[in-house]
Amino acid sequence: MEHSSLPQLFEASVKKFPDNVLLWEKKNTEYRGTTYKEAHERVMRLAAGFLTMGLKRGDRVALISEGRNDWVVGELALLFCNAASVPLSVRLEEPGDLIFRITHSGCKGVIVSGNHKSKVFNIIEQIKTVEFILLLDAPEEEITDPLLKDKVVVIDDLLVKGEEFLKENKEKLEEVKNSVGPNDYANICYTSGTTADPKGIVLTHLNYLRNVEQGTAIFDVPSYYTSLHILPWDHSFAHTVGIYALIRNGASIASVKVGKTLNETLRNVPINIREVRPYFLLSVPSLAKNFRKNIEKGVKDKGAIAWALFNAGLKVAYAYNLEGHNKGKGLRILLKPIYQLFNAILFNKIKANFGGRLRFFVGGGALLDIDLQRFYYAIGIPMYQGYGLTEAAPIISSNTPDFHKLGSSGKVVPWLDLKICDEDGGELPIGEQGEIVIRGDNVMAGYWANEKATRETIRDGWLYTGDLGYLDQDGYLYVLGRSKSLLIGSDGEKYSPEGIEEAMVEQIPYFDQVMLYNNQNQYTVALVVVNKAKLREFLQKNKLDPKSESAQTAALIKMRSEIDRFMPGGEFGGIFPARWLPAAVAFLDEPFSDQNKLMNSTMKIVRPAIVKYHKEALDFLFTPEGKELMNPSNREVVSRLG
């Protein structure tokens, strides 16, 4: 590769595109641009400031902020010092989640925005390794706490210190920067780690550099491109595709105007899209669904005729496009002029709401259903679904403007080996389903401080993804879901469920077994095998007949109240994030066992088998009736106790 580190990649673009705008930010009423040259000067000053605070090779620093100019500047400055950034989600609200990640990675410092500083201030006594807190916004009130006062520094002050340092010691920063190599750590990303199952994914400079080249090889990103980054910037997807791929090509990154709250920031998204006029956007399924809902609402608001025309246009588009790679084939070519007419009178007006320059979305984070893919393809803004893992930095495959097949996750990126394996690790032929296994320079160095998990995941240089899929005859990858246990939200966020499941079984006497489930859904559900003896005891104590409605209601309310002990405000509230606790529950009286093959020989539940066995029950939980605690299925389980 041309570069051996991310600082080298950045400086090459600074030299090649000094006057191109790198960063667009809106603080007040309009967007202002920062050129590559200006951004480089700020990075150098901040990196020098870090050196004055004793930052050295291998140190880790957490980064907690909304997307903004200084998110990129801050991370680059850390990398210039050969330190590693530990980007953390701004959605982390539970103190324990932050304490664990900062402590587990041994962070020497924390970079944090004004909106989130209180999260760090409130846990300062528990994060013993932290020597400094860099505020990206000056505090509105004077800091009086002695411990905080000793550790807090405001970015403007550190930039001044850095500028002074560079006057006499610029060669020291150059020496450190030039020492950064491909195998040095760039990031430790916590996507699914919990205190029970730590997974800090270590990504090196080589991992990002290779994945940037892989991504750039399949997507043309000219230097005039601008993208508005709507997704959380701590995701490796946003890192690679949204930041470093754009830097590599001299293109521009715009951030959403930050509001005082998350909701206020989200309300700025449609306004900012029209202002920035991006050429492409990164998306996840939940965002795609919201965009579609807003588009359809806008059309409906124009009246019945507009709505009828819109649906007629979609029908023609779906028939003409099919799966994209075969659009307009055979007699369907006759539909082309009709489709073009609908584009001219309708779909182009919709595209104007995205700024008028939007050419495509890149979809990641979780699988996007084919109906949504067809919808966006129809209106002329294709959503090219890809597949990746943070452990792969993250791009593994993607549909592209040149090669796409709706319903698939696209073709495997270049310079990456991929095979489909059976349970014994044997390679399967084309078309057969198995575990997706990959090998390449974009594969992580390992899990931070977790050699056991690293050995289990990377074997003989191959990364076992834990995802099921297959390759078709044309080389398109189809991802079917996870063979591992992680919950996956509709926005692509992931979480390990074992800790919650074990705690519930331990603390709730009426539960024998629990399996949480979320496969890119709006909420998490649970299958709960009840302890029949304990539940009967409860009913007998209250002189209730299981066959009666009152007994069933009492039993179900009692079990729901036990789950609520884990919700915010409950006895165990705050231990686990609320979004991963069950919003709907199916109670079962048949246990998971080795007899029904829902447990293996080591007495661990076999999740794929349970999902298949209880597919009807799981599907029911995502319906309005199934979400109701008092649904007929749950009542029936209680009635059978009689």
Taking only the tens place, the pLDDT of each residue in 55-70 is 999 999 999 999 999 9
Is residue 231 a part of any domain in this protein? no
Q: Average pLDDT, stretch 613-639?
A: 95
Q: Average pLDDT, stretch 283-309?
A: 90
Is residue 491 a part of any domain in this protein? no
Ranking 22-36, 311-325, 356-370 by mean pLDDT, the lowest is 356-370
Name the residue among 485, 487, 459, 7 with its Cα closest to residue 209: 7
pLDDT of residue 194: 40
Is residue 270 a part of any domain in this protein? no
Same domain (yes/no): 539, 465 = no
Structure tokens at 50: 């870090």
Same domain (yes/no): 505, 465 = no
- What CATH code is carried by the domain that includes residue 125? 3.40.50.12780
Q: Average pLDDT, stretch 146-175?
A: 97
Same domain (yes/no): 465, 326 = yes
Q: Average pLDDT, stretch 118-128?
A: 97
Same domain (yes/no): 511, 472 = no
Asked if 166 and 173 count as a contact pair (C-beta separation under 8 A), the reply is yes
Q: Average pLDDT, stretch 275-292?
A: 89
pLDDT of residue 322: 94
Could you read off the pLDDT of 4-43 as tens digits, one per residue? Answer: 999 999 999 999 999 999 999 999 999 999 999 999 999 9
The Cα–Cα gap between 12 and 247 comes to: 9
Asked if 533 and 540 count as a contact pair (C-beta separation under 8 A), the reply is no
Same domain (yes/no): 530, 616 = yes
- Within 10 A of 267 (CB to CB), how many other CB atoms are there? 14
From 456, 482, 508, the end of a domain falls on 482
Highest mean pLDDT among 268-282, 369-383, 566-580: 268-282
Same domain (yes/no): 632, 513 = yes
Q: Helices 632-639 & 549-564, crossing angle to 10 degrees? A: 110
Is residue 243 a part of any domain in this protein? no
Is residue 422 a part of any domain in this protein? yes
Could you read off the pLDDT of 545-561 as tens digits, one per residue? Answer: 999 999 999 999 999 99
Same domain (yes/no): 469, 542 = no
From 459, 482, 505, the end of a domain falls on 482
The Cα–Cα gap between 485 and 411 comes to: 26
Q: Helix, strand, or coil here: 6? A: helix
Same domain (yes/no): 369, 509 = no
Same domain (yes/no): 365, 330 = yes
CA distances from 51 to 55, 64, 72, 80, 133 (A): 5, 20, 18, 10, 14
Could you read off the pLDDT of 558-579 as tens digits, one per residue? Answer: 999 999 999 999 999 988 999 9
Comparison of pLDDT for 367 and 203, the residue scoring more? 203
Q: Average pLDDT, stretch 174-193?
A: 91
Asked if 444 and 208 count as a contact pair (C-beta separation under 8 A), the reply is no
Instruction: Give Cβ neighbours of residue 71 (< 8 Å, ≥ 6 apart).
Output: 63, 65, 233, 255
Comparison of pLDDT for 192 and 303, the residue scoring more? 303
The Cα–Cα gap between 46 and 55 comes to: 11
pLDDT of residue 490: 85
From 163, 181, 199, the end of a domain falls on 181
Distance of CA 286 to the CA centre of its chain: 11
Same domain (yes/no): 517, 449 = no
The Cα–Cα gap between 6 and 17 comes to: 16
pLDDT of residue 195: 42
- Half-sphere CA count of 183, side-chain side, radius 13 A: 2
pLDDT higher than threshold 90 for residue 97? no
Could you read off the pLDDT of 479-501 as tens digits, one per residue? Answer: 877 666 778 888 888 787 878 99
**Sheet of 584-588, strands arranged across:** 511-517, 525-530, 584-588
Is residue 299 a part of any domain in this protein? yes
Distance of CA 302 to the CA centre of its chain: 35
Helix (H) or strand (E) holding 470: strand 462-471
pLDDT higher than threshold 80 for residue 158? yes
The Cα–Cα gap between 57 and 475 comes to: 42
pLDDT of residue 263: 83
pLDDT higher than threshold 70 for residue 424? yes
pLDDT higher than threshold 80 for residue 391? yes
What torsion, rounded to 10 degrees, do the Cα atoms 204, 210, 214, 219 define?
80
Is residue 289 a part of any domain in this protein? yes
Comparison of pLDDT for 196 and 367, the residue scoring more? 367
Name the residue among 505, 526, 513 with its Cα closest to residue 621: 526
Asked if 357 and 278 count as a contact pair (C-beta separation under 8 A), the reply is yes
The Cα–Cα gap between 3 and 593 comes to: 54
User: Which residues constitute the domain of residue 376?
Assistant: 280-356+359-482
Q: Average pLDDT, stretch 211-231?
A: 96
Comparison of pLDDT for 170 and 232, the residue scoring more? 170
Same domain (yes/no): 35, 177 = yes
The end-to-end CA distance of the chain, in Å, is: 71
Number of domains in the chain: 3
What average pLDDT does the chain have? 93
Q: Work out the percent of the chain whose per-residue pLDDT is above 70.
A: 97
Is residue 551 a part of any domain in this protein? yes
pLDDT of residue 193: 42
Asked if 419 and 477 count as a contact pair (C-beta separation under 8 A), the reply is no
Same domain (yes/no): 604, 550 = yes
pTM: 0.81
Q: What is the largest CA-CA distance in the chain?
A: 85
